[in-house]
Amino acid sequence: MPQDTATAFVTAAQAKTRPQRPHVAVIVPVHNEEESIGPFLKAVRPVLDGLEADWSVLFINDGSRDRTLDVLIGAMRDEARISIINFARNFGKEAAMTAGLDAVDADAVIVMDVDLQDPPELIAEFVRHWRAGYDVVYGARSQRRSDSFLKRFTAARFYSMFNKVSNVPIPSNVGDFRLIDRRVVRSLGELRERNRFMKGLFAWVGYPSMAVPYERPVRPHGETKFGFRRLWNFALDGIFGFSTLPLKAWTYLGLLLAVFAVLYAVYLTVRTLLFGIDVPGYASLMVAILMVGAFQLTSLGIIGEYIARLTLESKSRPIYIVENHYKAGDL
């Protein structure tokens, strides 16, 4: 299975379609990030100013309970190219990115975190590759020194498992930090599923892609919003959202057990005929019952995961609710 979906092939014709002075929009999901917004804007501004492009920054305030919205409105008063989508509650980063992609109208869109773990300097390089014709340019974490051993280990296991079972491989050690072309944004807009594992959706739409390696720094302000439980659920969303293999695997396991059961039955019959009935067998019976029971419960649980997701999808609720979209003229 390919570990890297980067396609090296771009046509010169594609590069020619890039506008002379494009509009580059940056979308930034934020959740309880009052201390990070100032440093973020300070770092990103000079990079955007150096792009020879028109730019805008759209923050999606994902149900923050601190002063994030106040800080954002203050920033918007100073800079007309900033706008804010304020969610009615916390819908999660995936929903926030979706809202950003739905709202922007730009030639190239950059998705990045506010905590400066996605280095702003990379934006210039992303735009350069985009001008050369790539439709997707993503940052690949070359070393994950800023992550704990446990996180690195579980992440590596997750990517290798995901790529074994999913029909669209995702490159490992790639986050959401990326630039995407207008037409990729349009394609993503057609995917309205509620289970939004964005990395999977980005990979699913395809387009010529390019990876830019970088060293991910530690978070300078605030702390991560993704604890272990959230990451676990995120991983489940990824696997169950992009593969039906876990559902199908039970057929084969069941068949295997059945074959084993028939062989064992034959063996027991022959043995009984030859040597008579052998009464002891408590341990083997117990193991067999517990093991088959465990298989059944696990398979039921996996069916449950899919049914729960089907239930959510069938309700067709919106992916997010916007409380207000603040634009420069409004204040």
- What three-state secondary structure class fits 79? coil
Query: What is the smallest separation between the CB atom of 33 and ligand UDP, expressed in angstroms?
Result: 5
Binding to Mg ion by residue 115, rule CB under 5 A? Answer: yes
Q: Per the structure block, which two tokens stand in for 172?
A: 């490992």
Binding to ligand UDP by residue 181, rule CB under 6 A? Answer: no
Query: What is the smallest separation between the CB atom of 219 and Mg ion, expressed in angstroms?
Result: 5
Query: What is the smallest separation between the CB atom of 227 and Mg ion, expressed in angstroms?
Result: 12
Query: What is the smallest separation between the CB atom of 12 and Mg ion, expressed in angstroms?
Result: 37
> Phi and psi dihedrals of 211, rounded to 5?
-105, 140
- What three-state secondary structure class fits 29? strand
In 10 A of CB 240, how many CB atoms?
A: 19
Binding to ligand UDP by residue 171, rule CB under 6 A? Answer: no
Query: What is the smallest separation between the CB atom of 136 and ligand UDP, expressed in angstroms?
Result: 19
Query: What is the smallest separation between the CB atom of 317 and Mg ion, expressed in angstroms?
Result: 28
| Beta-ladder partners of 23 | 54
Binding to ligand UDP by residue 264, rule CB under 6 A? Answer: no
Binding to Mg ion by residue 117, rule CB under 5 A? Answer: yes
> Using the rule CB under 6 A, which residue among 5, 6, 27, 33 binds ligand UDP?
33
Q: Per the structure block, which two tokens stand in for 12?
A: 């010169």
**DSSP output for 171-233:** -TTEEEEEEEEHHHHHHHHT---SS--HHHHHHHH--SEEEEEEPPPPPSSS--S--HHHHHH
List helix spans (H) across the chain: 12-16, 34-49, 68-78, 93-103, 122-131, 149-165, 182-189, 198-205, 228-242, 245-275, 282-315
> Using the rule CB under 6 A, which residue among 30, 57, 69, 110 binds ligand UDP?
30
Nearest CB to ligand UDP, comparing residues 96 and 109 = 96
Nearest CB to Mg ion, comparing residues 135 and 176 = 176
Instruction: Determine the size of the site formed for ligand UDP (CB under 6 A).
Output: 17
CA–CA distance, 185 with 106 (Å, rounded to integer): 9
Binding to ligand UDP by residue 92, rule CB under 6 A? Answer: yes
Binding to ligand UDP by residue 226, rule CB under 6 A? Answer: yes
Query: What is the smallest separation between the CB atom of 166 and ligand UDP, expressed in angstroms?
Result: 21
CA–CA distance, 12 with 253 (Å, rounded to integer): 50
> Using the rule CB under 6 A, which residue among 29, 100, 169, 171 binds ligand UDP?
29
- Sheet containing 108-111: give its strands across: 209-214, 136-141, 174-181, 108-111, 23-30, 54-61, 82-87, 322-326
Binding to ligand UDP by residue 237, rule CB under 6 A? Answer: no
Binding to Mg ion by residue 62, rule CB under 5 A? Answer: no
> Using the rule CB under 6 A, which residue among 67, 128, 225, 325 binds ligand UDP?
225
> Phi and psi dihedrals of 181, rounded to 5?
-75, 160
Nearest CB to ligand UDP, comparing residues 107 and 110 = 110
Q: Which does 208 bind (CB under 5 to 8 A by kind): Mg ion, ligand UDP, none?
A: none
Q: Give Cα 220 distance to the centre of its chain.
A: 23
251-256 long-range contacts (CB < 8 A, ≥24 apart) are 253/295, 253/299
Q: Which residues bind ligand UDP (CB under 6 A)?
A: 29-31, 33, 62, 90, 92-93, 96, 113-115, 117, 219, 224-226
